[in-house]
Structures are given as structure tokens and as C-alpha cells.
Amino acid sequence: MTALAHPTAEDEGQAPAGRSRPCPRCVRLTARISSEADHAQQVAASPAFAAHVSDVMVQRLSDAVTNWRVHLLGDHSDDDGTPRLALSSFT
């Protein structure tokens, strides 16, 4: 199991009364990071695991993190009031 938590129903837009929904793109990008990390962990546990597969998995995870960072730095740089996905999604 990775340290990344999959977004909850609350993160998917069903926020409790009085709380804004998080940015849907943040939710999708964070879910992709979690999915890539889970997939890399499953592949690494396989008896047929090869070093080149490791490189591919690391690159895919790196791409997912880069996309998330670009989104945060670009789309949220103006602080348009759209709430970012809570950092608790990574615990």
C-alpha cells in the first residue's frame, strides 16, 4: 500500500455543508499519482520484474507528479478562489 490515499467521495465533490468542493482537476491528478504509485508497487512485487520496467514505472510516476505541479503552479497561481485538493490526500 502506498502512502498516497485515493480521493474520497468527499474529494469527488460531495463536500459537507459549509465547505467548498476541491478543484476537480486536482482530484483527478492526485488520483493519477496514487494509481501510478499503486501500479508501480504491484509491478515491483511481480517475480518477472525487470529493471527496464522499473524505469518505465518511475517515469510514469514522475510525469504524473509533474502534471500535478504544473496544474498547481499554473491554474492556481492567480488564487481564483478554487480550493486546492487538501494535502491530507497524501497521507
Contact 33, 6 (CB under 8 A): no
Total domains in the chain come to 1
More confident residue, 6 or 71: 71
- 3-state percent helix, strand, coil for the chain, nearest multiple of 5: 55, 0, 45
- Domain assignment present for 39: yes
Higher model confidence: residue 10 or residue 70?
Answer: 70
What domain range is 72 assigned to?
A: 24-90
Q: Is residue 81 part of a domain?
A: yes
| pLDDT score recorded for residue 80 | 62
Q: Comparing C-alpha atoms, which of 79, 74, 26, 36 is closest to residue 58?
A: 36
> What pLDDT does 63 receive?
92
Is residue 17 in a domain? no
Structure confidence by residue, pLDDT tens digits, 39-90: 888 877 776 776 677 788 889 889 988 888 888 877 776 666 665 665 555 5
Instruction: Flag whether 45 is in a domain.
Output: yes
- Residue 36: how many other CB atoms lie within 10 Å: 21
